[in-house]
Amino acid sequence: MSDLTEFLVDLPVKLLSDRGTLPTLGSDLAAGLDLYSAEDKVIPARGKALVDLQLSLAIPIGHYGRVAPRSGPAAKHGIQTGAGVIDSDYRGPLMVLLFNHSDVDFQVNAKDRIAQLILERISIPRLRQVDSLDTTTRGAGGFGSTGGFGPSKKQKLENGQAHEPEPAEAVKTDI
């Protein structure tokens, strides 16, 4: 395995009670730290709930913590996370907002891995009000303006040259 020291960053974690659990890495190269529930809680079908972790942490300056879903509960039970930004100056207790997109209540038990924390580098913007913005090919095109469902208007690269795709033929159906 290559030297990972250039990717390491200190993350101070404070357990707030004996119910809190230190986050863990599932593997040496895992992007996210597993976060553990400190309580038993039911996430109602088609509902949401805040789950207490009983820990606080100090995200390094130049980063933020992103609370992300775990793939198993997401794929098997429709469990997703929300409100997942932890700023580097926040020192309060962490809770995870879980959404249950299934038709069945989801039981969370104390010590269950319920989400993951990913540290991401950020740029802190210096805002500067201007009278106009530079122009781009896209311009003010919003939702769906770069393609989507149906025939694509995106350029395809073929033999290193960009060209517009051929228009799709309409298919006539009797409905």
Taking the whole predicted model, whether its pTM rises above 0.75 is answered as yes
DSSP conformation letters of 9-44:
----EEE-STT----EESSTT-SSEEEE-SS-EEE-
| Cα distance between residue 52 and residue 80, in whole Å | 16
| Cα distance between residue 50 and residue 43, in whole Å | 9
Check residue 145 and give its pLDDT: 78
Check residue 8 and give its pLDDT: 92
State the burial class of residue 77 (Cβ atoms within 10 Å of its Cβ: 0-12, 13-18, 19+). Answer: middle
User: pLDDT tens, position by position, for the chain (175 residues)?
Assistant: 578 888 899 999 999 999 999 999 999 899 999 999 999 999 999 999 999 999 999 999 999 999 999 999 999 999 999 999 999 999 999 999 999 999 999 999 999 999 999 999 999 999 999 999 999 988 888 887 777 665 544 455 555 555 555 555 555 555 4
Domains of the chain: 5-121 (2.70.40.10)
Check residue 152 and give its pLDDT: 47
Neighbours of 175 (CB within 10 A): 2
